[in-house]
Amino acid sequence: MATSLGELAPLEGVKRWAFVERALRLRLASALPNGAINVSPAWFVVVDETAYVPLDPTLGDPGQSTTPDARHMEIIDAGGRVSAVIDEGDEISNVRAVQLEGTANQVDDPELVEQLLNLVAEKYFHVGHPHLEYYFSAGAVAARRWYRIIPERVDGWDMRELPQPPIQERLRFPDHVVNGS
């Protein structure tokens, strides 16, 4: 029976959520049944082991150019499914990731939205950041919607936990051994 990465090198519990809270972006995928999958990177914050994603449907330019977030919003609001991957690492020996799969719903509590905005400010911005003023402007905040990811399945793996990466070797005998010459 095959073993998953989450079983081979699990990233669970406190370690999982510490990694998720510090990570800077997730890859959000959304889809309706029999529909195309919409995938894009997104910012996110975590409160009480729950991931929240701010989705901005437009760029805020005079033409109101739409973003991939607009399609995510349509799909989620229509009852579509979501998946998210939060990952880091660039070699097989240092990759770690968490995958969430389930649904999402819109956050309507103004106090929670205010808390989430404060977490975004702390996580992604610094004094003098060139986009700070725009991101927190009344127009951008009013257009933005926050979604809570409600996972039905969570999996995490941390290849750094393994003593060495798993290797599938295929050794071949030299021709003189195989042919008997």
Task: State the pTM of this model.
Answer: 0.85
Range of the domain at 22: 5-178
Query: Of the ranges 44-48, 62-66, 72-76, 101-105, which one carries the lowest mean pLDDT score?
Result: 62-66
pLDDT, one tens digit per residue, over 110-136 is: 999 999 999 999 999 999 999 989 889
Tokens of 61: 């330019």
Q: How far is CA 129 from CA 29, 48, 121, 126, 152, in A?
A: 28, 28, 10, 5, 37
> What angle (nearest 5°) sits at the alpha carbon of residue 100, between those of residues 35 and 78?
35
Domain count, the chain: 1
Cβ neighbours around 118 below 10 Å, total: 11
CATH number of the domain to which 127 belongs: 2.30.110.10
Cβ neighbours around 42 below 10 Å, total: 19
Helix, strand, or coil (residue 156): strand
In this predicted structure, the answer to whether residue 2 has a pLDDT above a threshold of 80 is no
